[in-house]
Chain A
């Protein structure tokens, strides 16, 4: 008995003395409650399930387990900042704020703390300029890319000529909703279409005035920059006035099943941008079923797998995991720090081979990052709602946004930010 006790004590001492391999801490600011919970739940589930899959199937990333923690924000900016403050002492390798408002608040804080912030297709567009926004990333595309991709698709529909056409932008009357205006105005000068602006006040439950105006003015196309209930009401109103749904295009945050299902069959043909694939038979689903769902480890109720927003959450986790892998490669250690992960993000190199190897063939555009480019190549695709199948389907390849227009806008905005905040653009 005495010997056994001694052996146990010795083992305990040895374990305590051995260098502990810290987990890779990747928290998530989620909103499973509140007005946007219907969107927040699938996104958070996809994000968490991907890391659970890596832990269960691969033993983590580079042999180190991922430690995951959610902090509930309710999509409230103040709570988001509180979450960040509570989590930052644990050295998170990356923060996904899941809200443009929270992202804006975290940009100066995370920059001071040296923690990478990744706003996937939302947040501050000009953060693409990595020389100014050293700790902020917005792969794989930003709002200005989205506006340009929408116009490119309309150009394609109209045989390359938009002169004399009318395009209406129905947008959430907030910083988020106003993002595409400048880009659409610039593109209007080039392509000759007339742009009309129709703001909708938060939360967007009452849009009769806007859609009566659309009915009167009969624009050729309507582009929507909406979120939450605004999307469902806008699509229902478009159905009510019999606006042709294939001439109605939403940003990627206006294109989930949640947005179209309340309008029923009338929403058939509605289009939305996307920066990720929407297939229902990716090989990764088998792994998720086997290693996550069947083990009872699925996030939430496990009923969101394969939905648009679930896949977007999963894609976000995938990019972060690839950045961590890249950081491990660059620095030759599995125990990476937030600063190393920033290097990983800047060296991000996701190709079609990468997607295929991860069980997601053709899932997204190629992404090549650099110090200067924190936002990717600016590619987006168009999806269309098939009401009978109950599914959004990709109807285009990935379309290159007009960087001749967007790059100068990003340069101007980021330089203005740098001047305001005494930042010298650099790659140190």
Chain B
């Protein structure tokens, strides 16, 4: 088989894996938008905050230690424990649920029936607040995140492809795990929304707030629920991206990777986020592989948006988005 074809296949597979990671970020946006019509600008920062909190809890860091030490002249930094990843994740989910409750109680509850742009701007404020809060709580240093997921080349795939083609494909173990986790996550969300009382209530709110309220569904509860789920998805995305680069401010910028996915897949569809992520991941990687060398490389960032815009020309609501019909 020609080398370029083999390389292309390897790039294609890696594009799929990258797409899954993009989709993980996009999922958080979709969940909140679908339930409340809010484009949550803070989703990337939530991923950062969740990952920082996870590392902080696992390593036994004292939250706000710099502030405490500066005010009281003390020298406390660690509680002296190191918790297993599972315990850390459970506690971090608790923190994200608390955050969801606070966001609803202090911000969203007071903005019911406001214009979408007002809600959007509120999430911008929330993003900046959380950036500062995260730094203040856990420090701005780059933190190593190790929840036990394997990283590096998958030896089995390398060996199988080498035996078959004479060239071993590189697939990162972390990407394989990300794919498995994303599949489980999406399946769980589907089951939750289809077969549980809360899930059906969430869908009802997504379809029509007023109608849902009229049959006794608590809007407050649903919003806390959906922000909590988005917080959990943010934690998963934060773990996957944080394992690659360490937990640091730049994690919040992964939201930029989700935007073309949302444009392509639609803001209201979970399958759209997945399919959109895969198309963007494969599209940008294959373009970089095939065309990148001719135009000086570094095409991925802008090509993802070009690809999304191309889809928008034909389907403004995205591949799976709901068609908006406004009567005059």
Contact = CB atoms under 8 A, between A and B. Distances in A.
- Please say whether chains A and B are actual partners in one complex: yes
Interface stretch (A103-111, A133-141, A204-212, A282-290): A204-212
Contact of B298 (A173, A228, A232, A258): A173
B249 A233 contact: no
B176 to A, nearest CB: 12
Contact of A32 (B73, B140, B143): B140
Interface stretch (A3-11, A79-87, A124-132, A193-201): A193-201
Nearest to A202: B301
B101 to A, nearest CB: 27
B297 A197 contact: yes
A262 B140 contact: no
Interface stretch (B86-94, B285-293, B318-326): B285-293
Contacts of B73: 296
Interface of A: 32-38, 41, 173, 197-203, 205-206, 208-210, 212, 215-216, 228-229, 232-233, 236, 239-242, 258, 261-262, 264, 266, 296, 301
Main secondary structure of the interface of B (DSSP, over half): helix
Given A201-B298, A240-B151, A262-B245, A209 B11 contact: yes
B245 A199 contact: no
Interface string B161-175: 000000000101000
Q: Please provide the 5 A-B residue pairs with the shortest distance between their CB atoms, ordered closest to farther.
A: A262-B246, A229-B250, A199-B298, A37-B140, A201-B301
B245 A229 contact: yes
B7 A206 contact: no
Nearest to A296: B73
A228 B132 CA distance: 19
A203 B253 contact: yes
A200 B146 CA distance: 26
Contact of B170 (A34, A173, A215, A232): A215
A38 B289 CA distance: 33
Contacts of A41: 140-141
B7 A264 contact: no
Contacts of B200: none
A335 to B, nearest CB: 34
A205 B132 CA distance: 21
Contacts of B172: 208, 240
Contacts of B109: none
B78 interface: no
Interface in B223-242: 241
Interface in B140-194: 140-146, 151-153, 170, 172
Given A205-B244, A205-B245, A206-B257, A37 B153 contact: no
B59 interface: no
A258 B300 contact: no
A241 B151 CA distance: 10
Contacts of A261: 142, 144, 246
A38 B146 CA distance: 19
A233 B244 contact: yes
A209 B289 contact: yes
28 contacts: A33-B140, A34-B249, A35-B250, A35-B253, A37-B135, A37-B249, A38-B248, A197-B296, A199-B297, A203-B250, A205-B241, A205-B245, A205-B253, A208-B14, A209-B289, A212-B7, A212-B170, A228-B250, A229-B248, A232-B246, A239-B152, A240-B170, A241-B170, A258-B141, A262-B142, A262-B143, A262-B245, A301-B139
Contact of A242 (B131, B153, B246, B301): B153
Contacts of A239: 151-152
B245 A264 contact: no
Nearest to A264: B144
A33 B131 CA distance: 9
Given A212-B14, A236-B151, A240-B151, A205 B250 contact: yes
Contacts of A233: 244-245
Nearest to B131: A33
A41 B248 CA distance: 13
A205 B250 CA distance: 8
Contacts of A236: 151, 244-245
A370 B38 CA distance: 60
Contacts of A200: 298
Nearest to A198: B297
B69 interface: yes
B150 to A, nearest CB: 11
A262 B144 contact: yes
A208 B7 contact: no
Contacts of B288: 209
Contacts of A232: 142, 245-246, 248
A236 B7 CA distance: 21
A34 B250 CA distance: 9
Given A197-B296, A205-B241, A233-B245, 17 more contacts: A33-B140, A35-B250, A37-B135, A201-B298, A208-B285, A210-B297, A212-B11, A212-B14, A212-B170, A229-B245, A236-B244, A240-B153, A241-B153, A261-B142, A262-B246, A264-B144, A296-B73
Contact of A258 (B11, B142, B289, B297): B142
B215 to A, nearest CB: 44
Nearest to A42: B141
Contact of B18 (A208, A216, A242): A208
Contacts of B152: 239-240, 242, 266
Q: In the complex, which of the residues B10, B144, B249 has the most CB atoms of chain A within 10 Å of its own CB atom?
A: B249
Contacts of A258: 141-142, 246
B170 A38 contact: no
A173 B301 CA distance: 11
B249 A209 contact: no
B254 interface: yes
A366 B248 CA distance: 36
Contacts of B131: 33
